[in-house]
Structure 1
Amino acid sequence: MLQLYPLVKVGEVKGRYLTYSHIDKILENLGGKFQLKKIGESTLGVPVDKLTLGSGKIRILAWSQMHGNESTTTKAVIDVLNAFYTHEDNPVLMQILANCTICIIPMLNPDGATAYTRVNARNVDLNRDAKDLKEKESRLLRLVFDNFEPDFCFNLHDQRTIFSAGNTPNPASISFLTPAMDPERSVTPSRIKSMQVIAAIAEELNTNLNGQIGRYDDSFNINCTGDSFQSRGVPTILFEAGHFPMDYEREKIREYMAAAILTGLYAIASGSYKKMDFLRYFDIPENEKLFYDVILRDVLFKSELVDVAIQFKEVLSNNAIEFLPVIEKICPKLAFHGHREIQCYNSAIRLGDNQELSENVIVNKIYVNNEVFTINYENSYK
């Protein structure tokens, strides 16, 4: 997929802010070759669509943007669909379509996508609504699940920049999970299958993401969609698009996520996942929260040396995402890593606009002696 990717990337879909209006015409075009169907509407009346492709016996259900502000996997899904649309003679893609029937919901929470929020229009996290099914979008997903009767599920998400791949200085650029199906986290046949698929994906991606693949915590929560579907005996895989160095628009991770999705589909279609030792899943390091976006090291502050941790707050402004640098923590010798680190060499610093150095302050620039450092990340897709 990585070799094919430049040919299949859908260039007009880009950046972090992705709404239904950005993809509806693309889905309509894909519907010329695949089966496009409106399965219902969101709380605010925006269409929720599904695309079905392939003619095989193995049934795979995937959904993206269950959380409205998690758009990377939707971009990757569009690229994957475009690969099937434009390269139907590719032997790998041909085998997937011959052996699998794939049902994809590209954007489950279009209201959250428009507002750039995790929750839907009624302020409910759909990934905590799998048991109660209070929300329209949750009921639509369950309806598709019940009618489609999948053999595998792909649950597609984004994760924050705070995660490391284990206790390492490496960001968790992509993470996976086979959700638990009970409080005991039993290793059941359905979990073993999804562990094998994840192991196959990790093996394929490891060449490019060595040390940057993580494993999510598998604490059981029946209100979560993945746990709910797994408890019904359907092997379910959580995909989490994370941070790649200086890739805040998540265009590079979009590429790796597309490769991960296709690798998973091919492992299932070819049956190659069955040869994987499921225990290799546990070789993937479990995620830890060891990162800030920026750390200022060795700052002289009130007569002592401290580190200053800054985290970007994502804010929707004029139909684009701004990354506001907020000081989260000031303390000596922070035992964390920064995606960017600035050495201040035991010097006092000044903030822009005559601000005082304190937590919860937005800081766009800092002055260290005679140097000026720009902290804010400039979104190139405004």
Structure 2
Amino acid sequence: MDLEQLFEQNKEQSLHGRYITLDAIEPLLNRLNTNHELRIIGKSVLDKPIYKYQIGTGKIKIFLWSQMHGNEGTTTKALFDFLNLLHSGSELANQFLAEFTFCCLPMLNPDGAKLHTRANANNVDLNRDSQDLTQPESKVLRATFEDFKPDFCYNLHDQRTIFGVADTGKPATVSFLAPAFNEAREINPSRLKAINIIAGMNAVLQQYIPGQVGRFDDSFNINCIGDTFQYLGVPTILFEAGHFQGDYLREETRKYIFMALITSFKIISENDIVVSKLDDYLSISQNKVVFYDFICKNIKINYDGIEIITSFALQYKEELIDDSICFTAYIAKIGELDNYFGHFEFDGKGAFYSDNFNNIPKLDQKADFYIENNIKFVNGSMIL
């Protein structure tokens, strides 16, 4: 099976970039609603509809939800790519529809999506509300879980560009986790099923992004929805869509999420989850905060009359301006950076730093500066 070709055939062309809102997906849901698969099952804080899309007639029940955090739309794009596949009429689509029933909440947090924020309109992180259920969106998710009674749960997220695969210097383009179900982080049969699926997805993704798959920290927190569902006995998999080299719009990453979804369903279909692959799972290196978007090394500054050589790092902030996401680079760290990597790195080789202010980099300052007065950087990018 050619997964790349499958992705290109089913990619939802209308969804692109980092800003994925309810306005963008509602027409797609209505288009895909060919046999009454679509229902409004609740409302957000700001009274926006929360949709459930259910398709398939199979005995194996798969529950997927995306954009629990409103600014994490990469997996939403991949989810619609997958839904397009299910409507393709292909042999694979027919197989999946016969073997599975898919229940999808493609945008749990439409208010956060509109504002491009992690939290909902009440400034609550829905992924810390699985026990108290204080928010309408949390209640919708839990009610759907209890009504649908899934065999597997897919918790779909994005992660920031700061994450790398251990200390390898490679970005964590895709990361997974089989959440713990107790404080001791033990392995029971339910968690082992999730572990085995992740091991299989990793084996396939290594063919496309070698060394760029990470394993998320499994510290137990019952307030997190994945931990709660695992605690309740349902194998749960956390997906984290991360950074691929140069792919700030996450268009490459969505492809690998799509590939992982397809692979996971093939694994379940073939019942390739009965033999323990715990060692393979544990061999996936853990996520680690080791990246900045840009590192400028070995630049000279005049600090209180003394010339010193230092380094500094920049990080992009995603800022919503006129319904568009702008990546604005700010100085995030100054000084020792030996244990960090940059998605882009520049060696100043002792050249002088200057800017329009004090000619020394300052934290939280916008990244517009010169190196030796002849190399200009605007918003963290070199202007040739």
1:24 corresponds to which residue?
Answer: 26
1:248 corresponds to which residue?
Answer: 248
1:334 corresponds to which residue?
Answer: 338
One-letter code aligned to 1:337: F
Is the contact made by 2:296 and 2:311 (CA closer than 8 Å) also made in structure 1?
A: yes
User: 1:257-288 deviations in whole A, cap 9, x for unaligned?
Assistant: 11111211221122123356232110100111
2:16 corresponds to which residue?
Answer: 14
Is the contact made by 2:367 and 2:377 (CA closer than 8 Å) also made in structure 1?
A: no
Alignment TM-score, normalising by the size of structure 1:
0.95
Matched, 1:89 2:85: no
1:344 corresponds to which residue?
Answer: 348
Could you say what secondary structure the match of 1:199 adopts?
A: helix
Could you say what secondary structure the match of 1:140 adopts?
A: helix
Is the contact made by 2:353 and 2:359 (CA closer than 8 Å) also made in structure 1?
A: no
Which stretch of the first structure deviates more once superposed, 28-37 or 173-182? 28-37
CA shift in 2, pair 1:355/1:79, >3 Å: farther
- Structure 2 CA distance for aligned equivalents of residues 261 and 297 of structure 1: 39
Any runs of at least 4 consecutive aligned residues in structure 1 with deviations exceeding 6 A, and if so which? none
- Structure 1 CA distance for aligned equivalents of residues 76 and 145 of structure 2: 19
CA shift in 2, pair 1:152/1:252, >3 Å: same
1:13 Cα offset (Å): 0.8
Is the contact made by 2:44 and 2:50 (CA closer than 8 Å) also made in structure 1?
A: yes
- Structure 2 CA distance for aligned equivalents of residues 174 and 284 of structure 1: 11
CA RMSD across the alignment: 1.6
Is the contact made by 1:39 and 1:140 (CA closer than 8 Å) also made in structure 2?
A: yes
- Structure 2 CA distance for aligned equivalents of residues 33 and 369 of structure 1: 64
Superposed, which structure 2 residues align to 1:103-122 within 5 Å? 103-122=103-122
One-letter code aligned to 2:298: D
One-letter code aligned to 1:73: T
- Structure 2 CA distance for aligned equivalents of residues 44 and 214 of structure 1: 36
Matched, 1:78 2:103: no
1:298 corresponds to which residue?
Answer: 298
Superposed, which structure 2 residues align to 1:1-382 within 5 Å? 1-33=3-35, 35-86=37-88, 88-90=89-91, 92-275=92-275, 277-301=277-301, 302=303, 303-351=307-355, 356-376=360-380
One-letter code aligned to 1:323: F
Identity %: 43
Could you say what secondary structure the match of 2:65 adopts?
A: strand
List runs of 5+ in structure 1 lacking aligned partners: none
Is the contact made by 1:58 and 1:100 (CA closer than 8 Å) also made in structure 2?
A: yes
Number of residue equivalences: 376
Is the contact made by 2:87 and 2:93 (CA closer than 8 Å) also made in structure 1?
A: no
- Structure 2 CA distance for aligned equivalents of residues 363 and 71 of structure 1: 26
List runs of 5+ in structure 2 lacking aligned partners: none
Could you say what secondary structure the match of 1:4 adopts?
A: helix
- Structure 1 CA distance for aligned equivalents of residues 153 and 277 of structure 2: 20
- Structure 1 CA distance for aligned equivalents of residues 79 and 381 of structure 2: 26
Alignment TM-score, normalising by the size of structure 2:
0.94
